[in-house]
Amino acid sequence: MNILNILDEIEKVDGEVYERLNPRRKAMKDFFNFGSKVAAASLPFAIGSMFKTAYGQTTATVEQVFQYALTLEYLEAEFYVRGVAAPGLIPAGASLGAITVIRDHETQHVAFLRKALQGLGKTPVAKPTFDFSAGNGSGTGPFATVFTNYDIFLAVAQVFEDTGVRAYKGQAPNLLRQGALLTAALNIHSVEARHAAKVRQMRKARGANVKPWITGKDNGIGLAAVQPSYDGEELDTQAGIKITGINGQAISFNAATESFDEPLTMGQVLGIVDPFIV
């Protein structure tokens, strides 16, 4: 087995393979030295180790991300399914049409993620039982009227969509070099962002003091129960560059924070949705 020939073949489709394996660009020397010290029988394991360094994610990592995303999509899909079915909750016309479209998007996300997991040879996680009052099954949480009060329904929808956007962003690094899977996840992420903006616009039309985007860490709802979905959004520094007042421009703190969404970790998101799961 000639490891250099193998890497030459990989370089034809990934010109950055050497940089991934060794950012100081001493890869060729390392490979020659490595090959002289390792028995031929061990080379397949060594190659696997190097590819893990270069391309990062294991099948287990990808499965974990997709199972996690599926749980979130189950939550959103079930929420909108119940909302559309609730008698008299959503005003007829444009409002019902918009929520119905969002419902259909979320159910399609569920179907896709289940199919993707099955394609990986994994069993999709079962759909949990949800309590959309956020009462952990009591039905008496802060959103107990979610399916009888349209404004409360939209407020919860906003929280779910804003959280979903940050959740997908937080997992993107775990899908690097996953090709079609990363692309699909980013496609879902962008649709969740459109949902978030639409729901916020619908709330604004009903008198809520919100914009189509997040300002600082203002949740736009006024309840401490939803604040974890917005904490961390108040950053006005990106990649070490302060956006507020950048280059002497009159960029306010609010404008700076509105210009960038921040990711949420898996642990943060699971903590946010836990009250909604029985």
Could you read off the pLDDT of 174-212 as tens digits, one per residue?
A: 998 888 889 999 999 999 999 999 999 999 999 999 999
What is the signed CA dihedral for 184, 187, 191, 196, rounded to 10 degrees?
100
Architecture of the domain delimited by 59-276: Up-down Bundle (1.20)
In DSSP terms, 237 is beta-bridged to 242
Nearest CA among 160, 157, 162, 153 for reference residue 90: 153
Q: What is the pLDDT of residue 179?
A: 86
Residues of the chain with CATH 1.20.1260.10: 59-276
Work out the number of other CB atoms within 10 angstroms of the CB of residue 234: 16
80 near 106, Cβ under 8 Å?
yes
Give per-residue pLDDT as tens, 12-61: 555 555 555 554 445 444 544 555 454 544 444 444 444 444 444 555 58
Give per-residue pLDDT as tens, 60-117: 588 999 999 999 999 999 999 999 999 999 999 999 999 999 999 999 999 999 999 9
Helix (H) / strand (E) containing 241: strand 241-242
Q: Radius of gyration of the chain from Cα atoms?
A: 23
pTM: 0.79
